[in-house]
């Protein structure tokens, strides 16, 4: 076997076996999944969202991936828009201290930045956590089972078992979450279709009612027109008959008067009706006369002598040798 020279071989050197597959550290894997985004593998930062399959994401990375779907991994292909994810209402851990990792220092991987608001368990991967799709509140599965209620333990909103989503669940949990996701999407589609049908029915009913109302209004208007025409016809007939009788009476009276005047030889004289004298109204404002060029203060009979002395047209102003104190008079004339 080539063992000359005093060498002593060992059993593992002579018997070759198949090497064991290298196993991953479960603790480090869980810590990574609970503290990093499933799309970009970056540390989780608020706001944190989760999909219907229970995977955690940064909201910024989800928005970027939705805009450019080439960045979406296979595990997140079911995310079509922001309606497929839910904002998580996380409870911060007061004892958690975030510090920069150093190569020669111990890093506590069991400490988590978030805890359960009911029991106080840390969300580090050792305990199962769930969130409610309706409100987005995150709590431990132990709290949800021990404190049975149809209301959320954090925000007191009602929920059903279909709204419970397990965070970072196992393969069996993923199958259950997938069926719940499909049922939720089908329910949302049915509700949307029902709303659209109701809107269409409402529009049809509104148009039908509007047409009926317009027809009723038109019929009532036609009836009113017919009634008014019927009421006006007898009045017009009575007026026309009365006018005819009056005309015949006037013609008879005129004929009788003409006969009497012809017999008596008296001519008809038209009475002289006195007309009123036209009243001349002076609508011109007396104050407006002062704006004309022909107006002069010196010739105004209503102006006082003291007021006239203020102007250069006064006799004293013509005789003075100095300039007027109100208006400057250079005495060019």
Q: What does the pLDDT look like over 9-28, one tens digit per residue?
A: 787 777 777 777 777 777 77
Check residue 59 and give its pLDDT. 92
Alpha carbon 23 to chain centroid, angstroms: 57
- CA gyration radius for the chain? 55
**What is the C-alpha to C-alpha distance for residues 98 and 44, in angstroms, rounded to an integer?**
13
Check residue 247 and give its pLDDT. 57
Beta-bridge partner residues of 140: 129
Check residue 197 and give its pLDDT. 87
Count each helix (H run) and each strand (E run) in the chain, helices first: 8, 8
**What is the C-alpha to C-alpha distance for residues 331 and 70, in angstroms, rounded to an integer?**
99
Within 13 Å of residue 41, how many CA atoms lie on the same side as its CB? 3
C-beta separation of 84 from 78 below 8 A = yes
Secondary structure (3-state) at 92:
strand
**What is the C-alpha to C-alpha distance for residues 171 and 158, in angstroms, rounded to an integer?**
28
Chain mean pLDDT for the chain: 76
Which span out of 44-53, 196-205, 222-231, 302-311 was modeled with the highest average pLDDT? Answer: 44-53
Which of 68, 81, 74 has its CA nearest to residue 38? 74
Helices (H), 68-140: none
**What is the C-alpha to C-alpha distance for residues 54 and 131, in angstroms, rounded to an integer?**
8
Q: What is the mean pLDDT of residues 113-135?
A: 90
C-beta separation of 204 from 198 below 8 A = no
Beta-bridge partner residues of 36: 43
Distances (CA, A) of 239 to 11, 186, 235: 141, 79, 6
C-beta separation of 149 from 143 below 8 A = no
Which of 305, 301, 302 has its CA nearest to residue 317? 305
pLDDT in tens, 267-315: 444 455 555 555 554 545 666 666 666 777 778 888 888 888 777 777 7
Q: What is the mean pLDDT of residues 246-261?
A: 56
Check residue 70 and give its pLDDT. 83
**What is the C-alpha to C-alpha distance for residues 307 and 106, in angstroms, rounded to an integer?**
109
Q: Give the single-character DSSP code of 43.
A: B
- Cβ contacts of 91 within 8 Å, gap of 6 or more: 114, 115, 116, 117, 138, 154
- Cβ contacts of 96 within 8 Å, gap of 6 or more: 111, 112, 113
- Cβ contacts of 330 within 8 Å, gap of 6 or more: 323
Please give the residue that has the higher pLDDT: either 333 or 186: 186
Check residue 58 and give its pLDDT. 93
Distances (CA, A) of 202 to 30, 101, 166, 209, 288: 53, 63, 41, 10, 71
Angle at 135 between CA 134 and CA 138, to 5 degrees: 115
């Amino acid at each position: 076997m080539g063992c000359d020279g005093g060498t002593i071989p060992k059993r593992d050197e002579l018997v070759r076996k198949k090497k064991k597959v290298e196993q991953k550290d479960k603790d480090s894997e869980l810590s990574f999944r609970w503290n990093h985004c499933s799309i970009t593998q970056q540390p989780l930062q608020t706001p944190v969202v989760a999909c219907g399959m229970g995977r955690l994401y940064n909201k910024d990375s989800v928005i970027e991936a939705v805009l450019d779907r080439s960045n979406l991994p296979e595990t997140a292909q079911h995310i079509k828009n922001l309606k497929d994810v839910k904002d998580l209402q996380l409870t911060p851990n007061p004892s958690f201290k975030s510090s920069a990792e150093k190569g020669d220092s111990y890093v506590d991987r069991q400490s988590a930045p978030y805890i359960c608001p009911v029991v106080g368990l840390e969300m580090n991967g050792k305990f199962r956590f769930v969130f409610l799709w309706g409100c987005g509140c995150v709590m431990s599965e132990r709290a949800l089972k021990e404190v049975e209620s149809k209301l959320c333990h954090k925000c007191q909103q009602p929920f059903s078992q279909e709204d419970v989503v397990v965070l970072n669940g196992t393969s069996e949990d993923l199958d259950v979450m997938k069926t719940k996701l499909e049922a939720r999407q089908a329910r949302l589609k049915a509700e949307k279709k029902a709303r659209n049908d109701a809107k269409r029915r409402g529009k049809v009913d509104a148009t039908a009612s509007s047409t009926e109302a317009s027809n009723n209004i038109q019929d009532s208007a036609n009836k009113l027109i017919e009634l008014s025409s019927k009421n006006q016809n007898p009045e017009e007939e009575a007026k026309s008959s009365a006018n005819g009788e009056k005309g015949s009476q006037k013609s008879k009276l005129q004929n009788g008067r003409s006969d009497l005047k012809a017999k008596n030889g008296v001519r008809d004289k038209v009475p002289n009706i006195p007309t009123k004298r036209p009243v001349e109204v002076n609508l011109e404002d007396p104050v407006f006369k002062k704006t004309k060029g022909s107006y002069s203060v010196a010739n105004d009979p209503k102006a006082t002598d003291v007021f006239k002395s203020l102007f250069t047209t006064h006799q004293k102003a013509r005789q003075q040798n100095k300039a007027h104190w109100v208006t400057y008079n250079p005495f060019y004339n």
